[in-house]
Amino acid sequence: MIIHDFSNKQSLLNQYIYELRTVAIQKDRMRFRKNIERVGEILGYEMSKMLAYHDVQTSTPLGSKSMVLPQQDLVLCSVLRAGLPLHQGLLNRFDTADNAFISAYRTHPEQRDDFEVVVRYFAAPDLSHKTLVLTDPMLATGKTLENVYQALSDHGTPTQIHIIAVIGSRQGVDYINRIFPEDTHLWIAAVDEELNNKGYIVPGLGDAGDLCYGLKL
């Protein structure tokens, strides 16, 4: 896997990650969602540099101009529900992309700390010969992305896979590095070193879905 980790790079991403992490700021749900969206826009721009491009000719009122545009067919696939703002950020940059959505969530049998990831809902186009962009804000253990990747296997084989995440754990990054094809690109704004015994990133930012949309049962 080719990992693009922006943890230690000086960029505007740091401002948005700071606000996403800070308890006093993240309570503003609209701002929290918007900051995730902004992270998606920036990571999407960085990812665009790795796409294939081709020459096109365009006509202006005063003449013609040769330009270079991306030629790959993108499918943006987001994990519900926390992935929606991140998805929108990418869609702001790739407005002609096809879209896929999948619900993958944790279940804790008998209230134990260990958990399983359950996939319930899935809607996607044919992925054959497409560039697949998987988006999930929190890359904790990596098991959610593993299950999503398995669920996608019946919808064709993409030519390229990119993963977009806001914050991940070192353990989660290492895990998906073993699961996905070696030419997969991971674009991640920050990587933290720890997971707690419930599989949450420390210091992380909390539950992204709850912070975006409110508490769930």
Give how many domains the chain has, as a whole number.
Answer: 1
Residue ranges in the chain modelled with pLDDT below 70 = 105-119
| CATH code: domain of residue 85 | 3.40.50.2020
The predicted structure's pLDDT at residue 117: 57
In a domain, 87, yes or no: yes
Is residue 24 domain-resident?
A: yes
Q: What is the pLDDT of residue 118?
A: 67
Q: Does residue 61 lie within any of the structural domains?
A: no
Is residue 59 in a domain?
no
Tell whether 30 is covered by a domain.
yes
CB 163 within 8 A of CB 120: no
Strands (E), the chain: 2-5, 53-60, 63-70, 74-80, 98-107, 116-123, 131-135, 138-139, 160-169, 185-192, 194-195, 201-202
Determine, yes or no, domain membership for 148.
yes
Confirm whether 55 is domain-assigned.
no
Domain limits for position 135: 2-50+70-213
According to the model, what pLDDT value does residue 189 have?
98
Please report where in the chains the tokens 């503003």 appear, as a residue: 28
pTM (2 d.p.): 0.90
Within-domain flag for 97: yes
Task: Report DSSP state, residue 146.
Answer: H
Phi-psi map region of 27: left, alpha, beta (phi>0 left; psi -120 to 50 alpha) = alpha
